[in-house]
Amino acid sequence: MKALLEENIRLLQKQMNWLKISYEECQHIGLKQAYTVDEFGKFETLCGRFSRSIDFLIRKFLRTLDAYEFETQGTLVDVVNRAHKRGLFQDIEEIRTIKDIRNTIVHEYIEDELREVFDEMLRYTPKLLEFMSNTLRYAQERG
């Protein structure tokens, strides 16, 4: 189990790095009425990384952390609630919003509708990165 936790720590670090890079690129571009193909591509990349980051964090990493600490497996709501109790994030509503943004991203197939989520991604990516960083620090201290 320790080897799996260590591997997940490595993967979380890698995911955080790529998410930061995409976030910084998109923050530099900023919000616009129209994007160049390259700019829109960078925002699409951020969308994918944002979605994969929250999925990996909740569906894989936190479940592994629960197993490592001998917590009873349960629903994703249980996983998130235990993460909140561990102090990995402060506001459960922010995590719900991040999950809602992820759901919007993965279900939007039309460019104009995807563009509407760019503002929320720029606003909530720092919160997601903070959650990831807190989780990483917590796991490293226990592993």
Confidence of residue 1 (pLDDT cuts 50, 70, 90): confident
Identify the residue with better confidence: 1 or 139: 139
- Residue-wise burial string across 1-36, b where 16 or more C-beta atoms lie within 10 A, e elsewhere: eeeebeebbeebeebbeebeebbeebeebeeeeebe
CATH code: domain of residue 26: 1.20.120.330
Confidence of residue 113 (pLDDT cuts 50, 70, 90): confident
- The string of pLDDT tens digits covering residues 56-71 is 999 999 999 999 999 8
Q: Which domain holds residue 102?
A: 2-142
Count of structural domains, the chain: 1
Has residue 109 got a pLDDT over 70? Answer: no
Model's pTM, two decimal places?
A: 0.93
